[in-house]
Amino acid sequence: MSKYVIVGASAAGIGAVEAIREVDPVGTITVISEELCPQYSRPMISDFISGKASLEKMKCRDDHFWKKNEAQALTGRTAVRLNLTERYVELDGGDKVDFEKLLLATGGKPFIPKIEGADKEGVFTFTTFSDAERLATRIESAKRAVVIGAGLIGVSVAEALAKRGLEVTMVEFKDKILSLILDPAASEIVENAIRKAGVTIVTGQTVQRILGKPEDDSVVDGAVLTNGDQVPCDLVIIAIGVVPRMELVAGTDVKTNRGIIVDKFMRTSVPDVYASGDVAEAYDFIFNENRLLALWPLAHLEGRVAGYNMAGKKTDYPGGTSMSALKYFGIPIISVGIANPKEDGYEVLVKHEPEKNFYKKLVLKDNVIVGMIFVNDIERAGIIFHLMKNCVNVKKFKQELISENFGLATLPSRLRKKMCLEG
């Protein structure tokens, strides 16, 4: 019997272990992970490909982490079934781990669309360290790569492959890259930088078929786009997005929507069963509803909140929102919330100086900031994020917020003093 059982040992699982140990120094913890060394940062796998980071550098907690926290880490193991009535998790091989409190932090898996030839050698997904390791073995012998999807994962892997000297083509179904988090103007700044780095961007297209080599059809030789164009390549990376891994809860009483539904304590609909991270639909403070947000910082925070509550310290999840910091192709960007509103009813403030690649945009609703994009000049973005999170009415000073001189000193003195004294 283990008091706490955690399935998944990435951002959320690690956060939960740390939080549990802050409250309960003795309760037994068992963590189950499919990965052999789960305590690394998944967002860093592109740095592994580019050669910038070794596995050692990618470790966000050291190798003693599990031992130090007296957590039994069952690595390289898969949880295959849950029995929520008898309260145990069944592992591959049939052994069972009983629990008192269970956290499902199973994360996401890459979404793979139906593409003819997607099973060929040379086609990769890009989510875990094993994915990156597999891809890394093929880079030396490869010359050209096609990346399907120009979201965060697609852009990160495209940059890494370009740095390794490959000729890269990014294929994006939408009209613009990073369309979920940027607006057309910000997208264009990144697109220009990407093209400058020698990467080809094809938008409004997707890959309909992956071709095999004439001498061996099982090995990738090229990709056929929706318009029929052929792009010769040795590697295809599918980077369209991730979907929650909900296999374990299928057929149980755990309520799901697109992900596992949780309340503000990260509890699922089944008592003593919690969920956190990319698999959970947690509260979004901008949309004021629960949403799927596959983001590392939120997964970690959700895991912490789950851990506290599992160990008996009542803690509310403050909520997250779509929030991304980007470093790719030398263009620092921060995008939060509704950065590109599609409906009416929003006020948009923009300052754009193309020659300096300076772009700041704020989206307001009833004088409260609900979205932002900062390009290049990002160091004060956190102040805006703070105003956003606290629903501060910015009516009296909104124009200042996008000026080049914006900083804490530009805020009204009462607000500034409140913010600074709190810390």
Partner 1 sequence: MRRIIAKEEVCMGCGLCEVYCTVQHSKSKDIIKAYNREHPRPISRVRLETNRPVSFAIQCRHCDDAPCVTACLSGAMRKDEETGLVTHDEEKCMGCWTCIMVCPYGAIKMDVSGKVVAKCDHCPELDVPACVANCPNGALVLQEVKP
Residues at the site binding partner 1, with contacts judged by CB under 8 A: 15, 41, 43-44, 47, 52-53, 57-61, 296-297, 300-301, 304, 323, 325-327, 330, 332, 334, 336, 378-383, 385-386, 405, 407-410, 413, 419-420, 423
d(CA 139, CA 136): 5
We find the least distance from the C-beta atom of residue 409 to partner 1, in angstroms, to be: 4
Distance CA(280)–CA(282), nearest Å, equals 6
Q: Which is nearer to partner 1, 146 or 369 (CB)?
A: 369
Tell the smallest beta-carbon distance from residue 236 to partner 1 (Å): 26
CA 363 to each of CA 70, 179, 247, 295, 344: distance values in angstroms, whole numbers, following the listed order? 46, 16, 38, 21, 11
> Smallest distance from the beta carbon of 46 to partner 1, in angstroms?
10
CB of residue 404 to partner 1, shortest distance in Å: 12
Contact of 173 with 204, CB cutoff 8 Å: yes
Query: What's the closest the beta carbon of residue 318 comes to partner 1, in angstroms?
Result: 10
Cα angle 255-256-262, degrees, rounded to a multiple of 5:
75
Q: Which is nearer to partner 1, 149 or 320 (CB)?
A: 320
- Write out the DSSP string of 95-128: -EEEEEEEEE---EEE-----BTTTSBTEEE-SS
Among residues 49 and 207, whose Cβ is nearest to partner 1?
49
Placement of tokens 């509103």 in the chain: 341
Rounded alpha-carbon distances, angstroms, from residue 226 to 81, 195, 327? 40, 22, 30
Residue 212 in tokens: 């095999």
Q: Which is nearer to partner 1, 53 or 270 (CB)?
A: 53
**Measured from the CB of residue 390, what is the shortest distance to partner 1 in angstroms?**
9
The smaller minimum CB distance to partner 1, of residues 225 and 295, is found at 295
Please identify, using beta-carbon distances, which residue of 44 and 248 lies nearer to partner 1. 44
Nearer to partner 1, 4 or 385 (CB): 385
Residue type at 287?
F
Q: Residues of 187-200 as b/e, b for ≥16 C-beta within 10 angstroms?
A: bebbbebbeeeebe
**Nearest-approach distance from CB 398 to partner 1, in angstroms:** 15
Beta bridge partners of 4: 29, 101
The one-letter amino acid at 348 = V
Least Å distance, CB 104 to partner 1, is 20
Q: Are 326 and 333 in contact (CB under 8 A)?
A: yes
Integer Cα distance of 89 and 309 in angstroms: 20
Q: Which of 185, 102, 201 is nearest to 361 (CA)?
A: 185
Give the bridge partners for 207, in sequence order: 225
* Closest CB 383 distance from partner 1, rounded Å: 5
Distance CA 208, CA 300 (A): 36
Which of 26/409 has CB closer to partner 1? 409
Residue 76 C-beta: closest distance to partner 1, Å? 22
In 3D space, the residue among 326, 252, 238, 336 whose CA is nearest the CA of residue 287 turns out to be 336
- Measured from the CB atom, the residue of 182 and 336 that comes closer to partner 1 is 336
Give CA–CA dist 377/133, Å, rounded.
Answer: 34
- Nearer Cβ to partner 1 (35/90): 35
